Amino acid sequence: MRKSQVIVVGAGIAGLTSAAILSKQGLTVTLIESHTQSGGCAGTFKRKNYIFDVGATQVAGLEKGGIHSRIFDFLGIPSPEATILDPACIVDLNDGSKPISIWYEKSKWIAEREMQFPGSRRFWNLCTLIHQSNWIFASNNPVLPIGNFWDLSQLLKSLVPSNLLTGILLKSTIFDLLRICGLSKNERLIKFLNLQLKLYSQEDVFNTAALYGSTVLQMCQQPHGLWHLKKSMQSLSEALESSLIKTGVNIIFEQKVNSINFDDHNMCWKVFAKSKKNSFVYKGKDLIYTAPPQSLLQHLKEPLNRKKSYKNRLTNLPDPSGALVFYSALKKEHIKKISSNHYQFVSPEFGSLFVSISEDGDGRAPKGEVTLIASIFTKTKDWFSLDKENYLQRKKDFLKKISLELERQFDIASENWLHRELATPLGFEKWTNRPNGIVGGLGQNPDLFGLFGLSSRTPFQGLWLCGDSIYPGEGTAGVSQSALMVSRQILASKGINNLNL
Ligand SMILES: Cc1cc2nc3c(=O)[nH]c(=O)nc-3n(C[C@H](O)[C@H](O)[C@H](O)COP(=O)(O)OP(=O)(O)OC[C@H]3O[C@@H](n4cnc5c(N)ncnc54)[C@H](O)[C@@H]3O)c2cc1C
C-alpha cells in the first residue's frame, strides 16, 4: 500500500495539470492512469508514418495571460511550440455563398462578419461586452459552483461591477441575445452559430447559455486565439509530464482504478487499481477524480449509497454526445488548397463535419503529406446497442459515407487516400475509459453551466472532481482552469492561500 497526500485519477490534461500544480507546491502526489500514455482525449496515436491527434486538435490559452501559459510560467517550464491559427477556421455553410473565415486579426474578423451577416453588428458587440466582463471574472480565479464559505469568498473576490450587469443574463441563451438584437429570424447567422457553438458547448443557439456562448464566440480572435501545436497534441501532455518528473510525482501507467472507498480508521481515501496482472491499493487524504463524474457510479459504490441525493444527481446527468472520428492521410497535392488548418462544413448526411488538416512538415506526416481528421457528433447508444456483426458493418458504412463527403468537399479522388480509419464511441471508451465513450463534458445550457453545474467539491470530504464536466467546461483550456480551481481548493483546505498563479 502506497501513501501520498494527494491521489489523482487520470492523466488527461486535467489530471496532469492538477498534479503538476500541487506537486510544485510541495505536496506528495500519486497520479494513476489506465493507458500506456498521458493525454486522454488530448493524446495522440501512431499509425504507419503518421501521428494522429485522438480528439483535441487545437488549443486555446497559450497566449500570454492565457490559462495554459499562466500554468507553464508557474511551473517554470516552456510552453510547447505552437503557431496561431489565422484563420482559426473556415466555415462552409454549403449554401452557395462564400465560406466564412474566422480571422484571428480582430479588424479582419469584424469586416468578414459584417460582409457575411449584414446587420449583425449589435449582436457581436453585445457578445464582446459580455465576454470582456466574463474574462476579467475568469482571470480572477472564481470558484464555481459554490460549496462552502471559502468558495463563496473566492467568487465574491472575483466579481467586478460589470458582472452584476451581465448577471441579469444568467438564465438567457444565445438565441435570447439574437432576439434582443432583432436577429431571431436570421437563418444564415443562426446556422453558422449552431455549427460553432455545438463544437464548444455541445448545445445549439437555443440552448447555449448566453454568458458561456459569448466567450467561446470570441476565443479565435486577438488577444486570445487558437493554436496549432508543432509535432502533435501530445507535446502539451509531455510538457506537463516534464514538470511532474522534476517535482517527483509518482506517475503510474497501465493501472485502471476500479474502486474507491473511504478508510474510516485512517481517515483517508483508498484507491483500488488493477494492472494486467496485479492489484494495487493507494491511500491519500485528498483524491482528485478526473474521469467523467458518471464513472463514480461504478467506482464509488459504497460511499454513494450513503449519499442518495448525490447519487441521484450523478445518475440523472444528461447524456453527453459521443464522437465519430475519421483519421486519414493523403499527399498534400491530392487535396484542394485550403487556407486554414481547420474547416467546418454543412453536410446533408451528418449535419456538419469538423476537419483538422496538419501543416506540411509539422511532424504529423512525412514531408509532402498531411493528416486529415474529421469528427462528427453521434449518439452513443446507436453504437452500443449493436451486436458485433452489425457494429462492424455500421462502422464500415460510416467510414465510406464520411470518405465520400470529404471527397466531395475537398476534391479528393477516392484512390488517393493513403490511410483511413474510424473511431466510434466504443473506441473512445476503450481509449479514455469514458463510460459509453461520452466526450466533451456536460452541455453548457443555462441549467448546467457555471453556478448551476456540478461542483468540484463533492459531499465527501477530500474527494474532488476535475475535468471537462466541471466549471468552466470542455477543452484543454477549460480543464486546466478546473485543475487550477481544484488545486486552490485543496491548498486552501490545508491553510495555503498564497498560490501565486
Ligand atoms: C473528438 C474530440 C475533439 C476535440 N477537440 C478539441 C479541440 O480541438 N480543442 C480542445 O481544447 N478540446 C477539444 N476536445 C475536448 C478535450 O479534448 C477535452 O475536453 C479534454 O482533453 C478533457 O480532458 P480531461 O483531462 O478532463 O479528460 P480526459 O482527456 O478524458 O482524461 C481522463 C484520463 O483519465 C483516465 N482514466 C479514466 N478512467 C480511469 C480509471 N478508471 N483509472 C485510471 N485512469 C482512468 C483516461 O485514460 C484519461 O487519460 C475534443 C474532444 C474530442 C473527443
- Residue 3, pLDDT score: 81
pLDDT 10s digits, 471-497: 999 999 999 999 999 999 999 999 999
Ligand 1 atom closest to 375 (CA): 1
pLDDT 10s digits, 149-169: 999 999 999 999 999 999 999
469 lines ligand 1 (CB under 6 A): no
- Closest by alpha carbon to 247, among 12, 429, 449, 17? 17
11 lines ligand 1 (CB under 6 A): yes
- Residue 319, pLDDT score: 84
- Joined together, the cell numbers standing for residue 42 give 488530448
- Residue 177, pLDDT score: 98
CATH number of this structure's domain 2-45+52-81+229-318+441-493: 3.50.50.60
Average pLDDT over residues 444-456: 94
Query: If pLDDT is split at 50, 70 and 90, which confidence band does 412 have?
Result: very high
42 lines ligand 1 (CB under 6 A): yes
Q: What percent of the chain has pLDDT over 90?
A: 97
486 lines ligand 1 (CB under 6 A): no
- Residue 500, pLDDT score: 86
pLDDT 10s digits, 267-310: 999 999 999 999 999 999 999 999 999 999 999 999 999 999 99
Average pLDDT over residues 166-188: 97
Q: Whose CA is nearest to atom 34 of ligand 1?
A: 10
Query: If pLDDT is split at 50, 70 and 90, which confidence band does 498 have?
Result: confident
53 lines ligand 1 (CB under 6 A): no
Query: Can you tell me whether residue 91 is helix, strand or coil?
Result: strand
247 lines ligand 1 (CB under 6 A): no
Q: What is the distance in A from the centroid of ligand 1 to the CA of 14?
A: 8
Q: Give ranges for CATH 3.50.50.60 in the chain.
A: 2-45+52-81+229-318+441-493
Q: What is the distance in A from the centroid of ligand 1 to the CA of 109?
A: 30
Q: What is the pTM of this model?
A: 0.98
14 lines ligand 1 (CB under 6 A): yes
Q: What is the distance in A from the centroid of ligand 1 to the CA of 487?
A: 19
pLDDT 10s digits, 422-432: 999 999 999 99
Cα 395–Cα 396–Cα 402 angle in degrees, nearest 5: 85
pLDDT 10s digits, 369-410: 999 999 999 999 999 999 999 999 999 999 999 999 999 999
- Joined together, the cell numbers standing for residue 58 give 487545437
Average pLDDT over residues 316-340: 95
Cα 56–Cα 60–Cα 65 angle in degrees, nearest 5: 150
User: Across all residues in the chain, what is the average pLDDT?
Assistant: 96
Query: Can you tell me whether residue 107 is helix, strand or coil?
Result: helix
- Residue 92, pLDDT score: 98
17, 32, 34, 41: residue to mutate for ligand 1 pocket, most atoms within 8 A of CB:
41
- Residue 226, pLDDT score: 98
Q: Whose CA is nearest to atom 18 of ligand 1?
A: 475
- Joined together, the cell numbers standing for residue 491 give 491548498
473 lines ligand 1 (CB under 6 A): no
User: CB within 8 A of 113, min separation 6: which ones?
Assistant: 100, 120, 124
Q: What is the distance in A from the centroid of ligand 1 to the CA of 467?
A: 8
Query: If pLDDT is split at 50, 70 and 90, which confidence band does 1 have?
Result: low
What whole-number distance in Å separates Cα of residue 244 and Cα of residue 168?
42
257 lines ligand 1 (CB under 6 A): yes
Which residues on neighbouring strands pair with residue 52, listed in sequence order? 45
